[in-house]
Amino acid sequence: MAAAGRPALARALLQQCVSARLQVKPPEHDSEAEWVEIQRGLVIYICFFKGADEDIVPKIGDVLIIPQATLGGKPKGRKMQYHANIEKEKGLELYSQFVTLCEKELAGNARCMEAGVLVKHGTYGNRQVLKLDTNGPYTHLIEF
């Protein structure tokens, strides 16, 4: 599904939602868990592969961006392998760029600003907890 003739550089999974809530910091003995939350909008699970170095930006509604390295797995026997996934540091860098681009794209769109569209995002490399309410689901898979 990626551009013909080369392996995919990124894989994104899109799921519309009525509301979604993602834990971005687990509870600790001296602090409560932190969550980000969106209402009607789009959840984007994103994973980068080795060789990725730039990317494009999706649109529409509130947006919750979730780093999701497991999406890059390949079944091998009864296990999943992640040999094609990008190195952690580069992945964090691309993920941050992707979040920033989404934020800029929405901030630059007058109708999104009028509607008060929000971009929220998970923390790269962090333990996460997701609660999702859909009136679908409608799940789309896109590779770049």
Which residues here bind a second copy, judged by CB under 8 A? 1, 11, 13, 45, 66, 68, 70-71, 73-75, 80, 128-142
Phi then psi dihedrals of residue 124, to 5 deg: -60, 130
User: Which residue, 118 or 132, has its beta carbon nearer to a second copy?
Assistant: 132
Q: How many CA atoms lie within 13 A of 8 on its CB side?
A: 18
At its nearest, how many Å lie between a second copy and the CB of residue 132? 4
Q: How far is the CB of 96 from a second copy (least distance, A)?
A: 20
Q: How near is the Cβ of 89 to a second copy at its closest, in Å? A: 22
Query: Closest distance between a second copy and the C-beta of residue 103, in Å?
Result: 20
Angle at alpha carbon of residue 61, lines to 59 and 66, rounded to 5°:
70
Between 116 and 136, CB nearer to a second copy: 136
Length of the chain: 144
Longest Cα–Cα distance of the chain, Å, equals: 52
Choose among 106, 46, 90: nearest CA to 71. Answer: 46
Q: How far apart are the first and last CA of the chain?
A: 8
